[in-house]
Structure 1
Amino acid sequence: MKIRLFLLMVFACMIAFQGQSQTQLHAGVPLYAYNGNLGVGTVSPQYKLDVGGIARFASELKAQTSIYLGNTNPSRLSSGGNHEFDINYGTEGSFNYYSGTANQFRIDSNGYVGIGITSPSEKLEVNGNTLVQGTLEASKVKVTATPGSVPDYVFSANYELKNLNEVEDFIKANSHLPNIPSANEIETNGQDVGELQLKLLEKIEELTLYTIEQEKEHEKKEGRIERLENENLKLKTRLDEIENFIKNLKR
């Protein structure tokens, strides 16, 4: 009730003194009317309500448009302690959340969002681990790799490629491929997608080497078969000649 009476008094004073020069409304009270504006603690108010000092509202402070804090950029709204929201409405134009001095969250003027990074270069850039409790869907995913981790080393001359008998023995003993985590490991600890992709690429390159080796063996067998067929044809021809010779002797 007291707040309503105070506001009614404020508006009445503003109407009564519109267009007038500076006037102190009550002796000993720093309440001034100036050009239709009401000043509390300031003798030359520049706004409809201009407070020169700290103001306390026992309930809520609401504005239909904007609330500006301070006369220079950036304007800052503090939630207390070491946690702050910063709204920069100047040429930079950004929204920031700070924990202490660290910028934890930022939306810049380009609409780029940074979490744990002050200058995001993508629509969403995160510096740190991210946990998604649900489905992550994308039209394209790019995974970076450290130098030497891409398994082209499989094609090196000194790479020790297991023979297929060794691979078979390993599978029988462990129920998964060499250098590939087991189902239990993945189910228990999860799996780095990029790392698994590189391991699968390693298996594909090993399979390529096995296929090349098998192709060479196949070509060797084809050559042996062709030679055997030629020898067989010669033997058949020779046998036919012998049979004809025997027939001629009997005549």
Structure 2
Amino acid sequence: MKKFPILILLLTFGVLSNVDAQWTEAGNYVTLSSSSKNVGIGIAAPTYKLEVNGPTKIFGGQELQIDNADISFLFHDPGDIIYSMGVDVSDSRKFKIGNGAGIGDNTFFTMTTDGKIGIGESSPNAKLEVNGNQRITNEIRFKNTTTLKGLVWGASNWTATYSRVDDYGGNLYVMTDDYFYLAGINSSTGAPGNKTLTANTATGTVGIGTETLDPAFKLLVNGKIKAEEIQVVVDVPADYVFEDNYYLKPLAEVEAYIKEKHHLPGIPSADEIKEQGWQVGEMNNKLLEKVEELTLYMIELKKENEEMRQEIDQLKKKIK
């Protein structure tokens, strides 16, 4: 038996007779209320223009078209609205999902007509904009042929202070126009803990174990350094000592200087070292200078000893 012609007949009869028409079969029924003009499918007393109690299916190739100022669907338990979903015509025809009775009430998902999605953000300015905490259990992968990709913190117009982590040519860049910190984390609050590394990207200075940076030094370390090898570049090596025009102070002059100053000529005093520190490159070169001067003094002493030995040998021969 075909149900639809009978259904149409019953609905027509109900409208014409100005009484409620009802079709039942195995406990299911269709109701047309002549007073409210509401239609119910699977419900005896519909309170909306169309109210369906049961699964609903629209076959492929067909469409469900709704024309209204604000287009919405409400999903709820009886008397308790759970979610609202629809198009907010008054707000640039954005598609919204919320947990209020109307479109725009307690909205947590927004999609604009040009494909931008906001979660917790009603006016997204990017393909995906999230206002709130996120948790991702798997990887985040960026695929972009432009130079602007990666993770960005700050204003979207690139004019204010911002930071960025990005990949360029297979190299990872951590970029900021202010200070960069590598720090521990407070496990209770999530706030930064002690700063292990501090970098000023404007001056190119780095501090390890200290936040106080000095633009005169590229690296400041508050603590001990252990290394297998350190290479220090010196502009003028100490080999100038062996040049013919180098003035090698007589030992008597060196002795007088030591008695007066209590340190070697050309070497900082103990007070100067305490105040200014030990400049590794400069001081190593000065120490090498003193070693080379000592070598020259030893060569001179050896010559003097040879001359004295010859004179002593000659005196011994005369005595014999």
TM-score normalised by the chain length of structure 1: 0.60
The residue that corresponds to 1:200 in the other structure is 287
The residue that corresponds to 1:124 in the other structure is none
Contact residue 31 and residue 39 of structure 1 kept, 8 A:
yes
What CA distance in whole angstroms lies between the structure 2 residues aligned with 1:95 and 1:223?
A: 73
What CA distance in whole angstroms lies between the structure 1 residues aligned with 2:305 and 2:269?
A: 33
The residue that corresponds to 2:234 in the other structure is 145
TM-score normalised by the chain length of structure 2: 0.48
The residue that corresponds to 1:78 in the other structure is 153
- Please say if 1:212 is aligned against 2:299: yes
- Please say if 1:133 is aligned against 2:193: no
What CA distance in whole angstroms lies between the structure 1 residues aligned with 2:287 and 2:167?
A: 50
Contact residue 116 and residue 124 of structure 2 kept, 8 A:
no
The residue that corresponds to 2:112 in the other structure is 41
SS in 1 for 2:289: helix
Higher strand share: 2
Q: Give the 3 Å change call, closer, same or farther, for CA 56–189 of structure 1 in structure 2.
A: same
SS in 2 for 1:207: helix
Question: 1:8-87 alignment to 2 at 5 Å?
Answer: 25-28=85-88, 30-31=94-95, 40-42=111-113, 53-54=124-125, 55=129, 57=131, 59-64=132-137, 65-66=139-140, 72-75=146-149, 76-80=151-155, 82-87=160-165
What CA distance in whole angstroms lies between the structure 2 residues aligned with 1:27 and 1:74?
A: 32
The C-alpha deviation readout for 1:30-59, integer Å capped at 9, x for no partner, is 3389xxxx972258799xxxx9934452x4
Q: Give the 3 Å change call, closer, same or farther, for CA 71–53 of structure 1 in structure 2.
A: farther
The C-alpha deviation readout for 1:49-77, integer Å capped at 9, x for no partner, is xx9934452x4233233286988443241
> Could you tell which deviates more after superposition, 83-92 or 22-31?
22-31
Structure 2: runs of 5 or more not aligned = 1-55, 65-70, 72-84, 98-108, 182-198, 203-215
Identical amino acids, percent of aligned pairs: 28
Contact residue 163 and residue 177 of structure 2 kept, 8 A:
no
Q: Give the 3 Å change call, closer, same or farther, for CA 86–173 of structure 1 in structure 2.
A: same
Q: Give the 3 Å change call, closer, same or farther, for CA 177–221 of structure 1 in structure 2.
A: same
Higher helix share: 1
What CA distance in whole angstroms lies between the structure 1 residues aligned with 2:283 and 2:232?
A: 11
The C-alpha deviation readout for 1:185-228, integer Å capped at 9, x for no partner, is 00011121100011111111110110000000000011111111
SS in 2 for 1:131: strand
> Could you tell which deviates more after superposition, 128-137 or 24-33?
24-33
What amino acid is aligned across from residue 133 of structure 1 in structure 2? N
Q: Give the 3 Å change call, closer, same or farther, for CA 205–27 of structure 1 in structure 2.
A: closer
The residue that corresponds to 1:184 in the other structure is 271
SS in 2 for 1:85: strand
What CA distance in whole angstroms lies between the structure 2 residues aligned with 1:191 and 1:73?
A: 44
Structure 1: runs of 5 or more not aligned = 1-15, 106-113, 118-126, 234-251
What amino acid is aligned across from residue 234 of structure 2 in structure 1? A
SS in 1 for 2:95: strand
Q: Residue 230 of structure 1: CA displacement?
A: 1.7
Counterpart of 2:257 (choices 155, 163, 170) is 170
Q: Residue 159 of structure 1: CA displacement?
A: 1.7
What CA distance in whole angstroms lies between the structure 2 residues aligned with 1:90 and 1:155?
A: 50
Contact residue 154 and residue 163 of structure 2 kept, 8 A:
yes
Q: Residue 177 of structure 1: CA displacement?
A: 0.3
C-alpha RMSD of the superposition: 4.1
Aligned residues: 187
What CA distance in whole angstroms lies between the structure 1 residues aligned with 2:223 and 2:296?
A: 39
Q: Residue 172 of structure 1: CA displacement?
A: 0.6
- Please say if 1:98 is aligned against 2:176: yes
Q: Give the 3 Å change call, closer, same or farther, for CA 90–208 of structure 1 in structure 2.
A: closer
